[in-house]
Amino acid sequence: MSARLRLGSVLAVFLTASAAAAAAEVPAELTDPSDSATYAWLLERAEKQPHVERGRDGSVQWIGFEGESKYACSLYLDEQGRVARLMFNKAGFRNDELERLAGFEHVTAIKIAHNFDDAGPNGYRTGPNPMSGAGWKAFAGHRLTSFAVGGCNFDGDGVRAVATFPQVRELSFNHTRVSDADLAALEGHPTLESVSLSPMWGDQVTDAALQRLAEIPNLKSVRMNETYLTYEDGLKHLEKRRDTLREVNLANCVVTPEDLATFQRAMPNVEVKHAPIEEVGKLVATNFKGAYKKLSKRAPAEVVERFKAIGDRALAEQAEK
């Protein structure tokens, strides 16, 4: 036998033994074979040992990686011992890997943040297998009802992928590359009820996003954060959903009190939430996450300066206390 063949045989035995060892490490609480195999893949991929977090009564709280918090990786089980919820932070999943992750066949909720690889935030388009989120289409046959992604390079490809989830009710795209135009993929979705967007003051999510969201027939909740909105070009579109909407949370958006009042009068049965103008003003005044700089490029100067002045006064009063 040649040296190359012997090396190949040894390597095959080693890989088989490694796989068997990984399988043996999978907690017995995972009752579904596909769940067990997928968790074993996660352990091998991350080069981690398993961890089972238990409550005082010994019940499983979550399953993840030894030495890591639940935020790095946590699997939550249903009453049958099947993985029902997933949470990851800085996992670095590329598109083709999401097909492997879809081995969690019973999952109904996913939350993933900061999905970068070693190339960092700007590496998402490098190589043949980018990190745009297009690979989430592998979950189209699952029963996902909730999907949240934040602080990463998820973009329009990702939105179009999750738009194929037939039972999804809640979507959250915060601090991503999702734009107004990308949201067209959600128009007409029959089960979608809640959408959350936070562009970190960038111009990719604007009034036009609300026009797209207004085309979701069963929309009940909208959350917009860290952007500039108006009544006439944005909030007014949501009046189309006056029979379904129950809550509109504008969080830290820069929207004038006058426009807020106009929208509230038009939608008396909708709970409209918004941070106090002084708090939003402080974010503008301190250029929080680039608020002042970014808003100054697209919002009317009188609006930006009004919020900044209010924020400056609030900060001065705070310093005097």
Q: Alpha helix locations (H) across 72-118?
A: 97-101
Q: What digits encode the pLDDT tens for the residues 240-268?
A: 999 999 999 999 999 999 999 999 999 99
Averaged pLDDT score across all residues of the chain = 91
SS3 283: helix
For the chain, which residues score pLDDT lower than 50?
A: 1-24
Q: What digits encode the pLDDT tens for the residues 222-234?
A: 999 999 999 999 9
Structural tokens at position 74: 């946590």
CATH class of the domain defined by 14-320: alpha beta
pLDDT on residue 123: 59
pLDDT on residue 127: 58
pLDDT on residue 13: 36
pLDDT on residue 25: 75
List b or e across 91-113, with b for residues whose CB sees 16 or more CB atoms inside 10 angstroms.
bbbbbebbebbbbbbbbbbbbbb
CA-based nearest residue to 239, from 258, 256, 252, 222: 222
- Residue 8: strand pairing partners: none
pTM recorded for the entire structure: 0.89
Contact between residue 63 and residue 39 where contact means Cβ atoms under 8 Å apart: yes
Q: What digits encode the pLDDT tens for the residues 146-199?
A: 999 999 989 999 999 999 999 999 999 999 999 999 999 999 999 999 999 999
Phi first, then psi, for residue 225 (nearest 5°) are: -145, 145
pLDDT on residue 3: 43
